[in-house]
Amino acid sequence: MSLYFVRHQHCPETCPAKDPEMGQMLVQHVDKKNARKFGVDILGDAVIDGQHTFVLIVEAEDKQYIENFMQPFSQAGSVEILSASTCEAVAERQGCDPVPA
C-alpha cells in the first residue's frame, strides 16, 4: 500500500455541506468502511475551517482507487492526490526526495 495526501477545495458557493442531504451523503461516503470498498484506507481527515478545504491521508494500492473514491468531491471542486511518505520513511532515506520508481 502506498501513502497519499489528498486535498479537495471548493468555492463557498458550491460548499456541499450547505445542503444537509449532500453533507450527510458525503459523511457516509468518507466512512472508513465505505472507503475500503474502493480500495482506500483512510488514516485521517480534516476540514480546514473557513477555507472550504478537505484533506485526507490515505493508503491505497493504486492512485486510481483514490480518484474513483474522490469522484463525488470532484463534482464540487478540485481534487489533488499527492504521493506521500511518513516522517520516519523520509528520515530513513535521508531526505524528502521521492522514492525512485
Q: What are the E-state strand segments in 25-65? A: 40-48, 53-60
**Is the domain covering 2-86 a CATH 3.40.190.10 domain?**
no
Average pLDDT estimate for 24-33: 95
- pLDDT tens digits along 36-61: 999 999 999 999 999 999 999 999 99
Average pLDDT estimate for 93-101: 80
Nearest to 38, CA basis, from 10, 17, 18, 59: 59
How far is CA 92 from each of CA 18, 53, 72, 97, 99, rounded to the nearest angstrom? 44, 31, 36, 12, 12
Q: Distance of alpha carbon 39 from its chain centroid, rounded?
A: 13
Average pLDDT estimate for 2-19: 94
- Is the torsion defined by CA of 77, 35, 64, 97 positive or negative? positive
Cβ atoms of 3 and 86 closer than 8 Å: yes
Q: Domain locations in the chain?
A: 2-86
Model confidence band, residue 33 (pLDDT cutoffs 50, 70, 90): very high
pLDDT at residue 99 tops 90: no
